[in-house]
Structure 1
């Protein structure tokens, strides 16, 4: 997301004051159109909790697979992603 110096982050319209517990990002396009996204503190916390739980679970699965010797690497998948990256896809 690009943030212009003109609009900045946390730009708030006078009739729409953001609370200290929310996050507001604003994007102003070159043609004057504006996109704005506000996320409440509750939504940020829920997202953070869910992401952390999913990441912890995945890390634990990988640890167990490495310890048991069953962790495998799909070399074809890695090669495919490397080729796509190098080709600019």
Structure 2
């Protein structure tokens, strides 16, 4: 009686593939994400509108009104701005 066929092709490949997947999975876990910011983007950050004192003043006023709970948004204005995007 034969329990295992000795000339069976690929019988050990299944276990070898599992081992290779496990090893490659370890390598994937060690990889880290990287972000590179171009020189043009850095320049845009330094010359952004947030540097404008008038804009900074407006932003601070908005922050205070949101924190105090007095900030009000008109639903109609939001709908007007969203409508062109929803039509596309």
TM-score by length of 1: 0.37
Normalized per residue, which structure has more strand? Answer: 1
Q: TM-score normalised to the size of structure 2?
A: 0.37
Whichever of the two has the greater Rg, that structure is 2
Higher RCO (C-alpha under 8 Å, 6+ residues apart): 1
